[in-house]
Structure 1
Amino acid sequence: MLLAEEDARSVEQALAYYRRGVEGGEQAIGSQGFQEYAGHFWGFLQTRPYMRARQGLAVALWATGQHQEAIGHCQAMLELNPNDNQGIRYLLAGYLLALGLTAALKQLLGQFEDDGTAMWLYTRALLAFRENSPEANSLAEAAWSENRYVPEILSGKRPLVASRDGYVTMGGKDEAGEYLRDNGAAWRATPGAIEWLVRVTSAMVPNR
């Protein structure tokens, strides 16, 4: 894992390192471990290096155009650890949104329907807009209440600022930047979506 993050000189090299990390993790955990820990995988410290390596593998696969394999790894990780302590659902939602895999995206959104984070609400809002749902406006307003910077970045009024260390401030500019780094293309590819979002949220007043 450290090799992939620190020594890799290309995404292809990182991909190779992550594959080796995943293979090593599978051997260390063993088939019995996978059966025993499945369903609450992250709760066991010995599984976490494997899960981190597999997340890195999914990201590297996506970056190299191997989209279906990346999605498959994300889905498998959610099966191993449905509580999703890693936030794999956000990664997967972005992939499904980018490819227009609406049925799978709806299923994922339903699986975590109680998620009230800005990242989740903005994705729900975009999907609702695409489908001309009557819930679209209220979802956009709810998303803006959690993070008001997303429309400003999408409309070009504010530059994208991503997290430097992988951590984000809830409601902050870096959270908006992290969301749009993965999902901005889907918003821009949806005709009228950005203009609609700006219009719906422009009159809202921050509550914090």
Structure 2
Amino acid sequence: MAKKQSKRRRSSPSISSDSQTPPPDIALWTGAGIRPTEQILAQLGRFLSSNQFESIEEANAAIQQFTTQGTSSSGPPATTLQQAQELIWRAAEAPPQQRRQLAKQALAICSDCVDAYTMQAELTSSLATARELYAAGVAAGERVLGSTAFVDDTGHFWGLIETRPYMRARAGLAQVLWRQGEQGAAIGHLQDMLRLNPGDNQGLRYDLARWLLNTGDDTALTTLFEQYPDESAADWLYTRALWLFRTKVSDTAPRALDEALAANPFVPTYLLGKKKLPRTVPTIMTLGHADEAIVYVLSASGDWSTTPGALAWLKERTALQTKIQ
């Protein structure tokens, strides 16, 4: 049976003179599948809101009509924000330079187009500029959504198309803050985003777990691991195993590492230097495969190398599992 695909990332752009740390490497807007899905859902919503239906059957027939006729049946954008967002969806498929120009045009149409800020932030190699753009996007999102959304929609925040630009911008801001050394602020953003959307469609929990491990916040990390007990991604399982090895408060670390090795046996190959990491980050990551291992090791190799005895423990445990098999 084919394993399901997980989150998508892209390689980092070059580093500018205002920082020696890479800009965010998460594909907030250019990732495959984001634009087509959200654009169609938004246009469907516009189509339904512009029509009145007397029954469920009539509404279903209208949806079938929309599916058959395509997005042209949704009608033109009704607001400047919708006009700007349509431009951003078009820009997502354009080359970088054209994408940048279209994002600026979108903001000229509507200064509250959150994804336009996010798109520009992804295209800059300056951390300082990216931070300003992501922060502007977050502020715009708060204006668009209004304060009641952060109360009424808590718990299923990502389930609304309207909230997703805000969540993308805030995730980008958290990444920049972490890279600039503002660890507490970065962690706070991800924790609050998981409060808004505990289903975590964005995969924020993986970065949060590694950040809490990095800062030594065992209490918060324990709570986070308990919140997602059935997680099977390599990022999660190897982080948990390393954390248990560091704390040395129980004998569960070996079992946790064995579970991680079973989930993705490719991680030790890259962590122990048996195979070199590629120069570019895989654009698609599949659970249990080498591309998942590469993405994890690119993010977490420092955690392992700075933990005394961790790599030796990994090597020993990997050899033991190989003998058993």
Specify the SS of the correspondent of 2:199: coil
1:163 to 2:260 alignment: no
- Larger mean Cα displacement after TM superposition, 63-72 or 148-157: 148-157
Match of 2:245 in 1: 129
Determine if the alignment matches structure 1 residue 53 to structure 2 residue 169. yes
* Aligned equivalent of 1:91: 207
Match of 1:189 in 2: 306
Overall identity of the aligned pairs, in %: 45
Q: TM-score, normalised by structure 2?
A: 0.60
Question: Mapping of 1:63-142 within 5 angstroms?
Answer: 63-132=179-248, 133-142=250-259
8 Å Cα contact 1:98/1:185 also seen in 2:
no
1:18-57 to 2 correspondences below 5 Å: 18-57=134-173
Give me the whole-angstrom Cα distance separating, in 1, the residues matched to 2:305 and 2:132: 32
Deviation at 1:171, TM superposition (A): 1.5
Alpha-carbon distance in structure 2 between the residues aligned to 1:176 and 1:27: 39
Give the C-alpha shift of residue 18 in structure 1. Answer: 0.4
- What is the alpha-carbon distance in structure 2 between the residues aligned to residue 2 and residue 164 of structure 1? 20
Aligned partners of 1:3 and 1:17 also within 8 Å: yes
Instruction: Please say if 1:174 is aligned against 2:291.
Output: yes
Q: CA deviation at 1:35?
A: 1.5
Q: Which residue of 1 aligns with 2:120?
A: 3
Shift of 1:204: 2.8
Q: Distance in 2 between matches of 1:43 and 1:170?
A: 24
Question: As a proportion of its length, which structure holds more helix?
Answer: 1
Deviations along 1:61-117, one digit per CA (max 9) or x if unpaired, are 111111111001001100100111111110111111111111211111111112122
Which one has a bigger Cα radius of gyration? 2
CA–CA distance in 2 between the matches of 1:124 and 1:70?
20
Q: How many residues align?
A: 204
Q: Deviations over 1:149-187 (max 9, x none)?
A: 21121111112246343x312112221122122222111
Equivalent residue letter for 1:163:
V
Listed one character per residue, the Cα deviations across residues 119-169 of structure 1 (whole Å, up to 9, x for unaligned) are 11111111111122311111111101111121121111112246343x312
3-state SS, counterpart of residue 31 of structure 1: coil
Residue 98 of structure 1 contacts residue 183 of structure 1 at CA under 8 Å; is this kept in 2?
A: no
Kindly provide the amino acid, as one letter, of the partner of residue 319 in structure 2: S
The match for 2:92 is none
Q: TM-score, normalised by structure 1?
A: 0.93
* Equivalent residues of 1:61, 1:70 under 8 A apart: yes
Question: What's the Cα RMSD here?
Answer: 1.6
Bigger relative contact order, structure 1 or 2, given CA contacts below 8 A and separation 6+? 2
Q: Residue 150 of structure 1 corresponds to which residue in structure 2?
A: 267
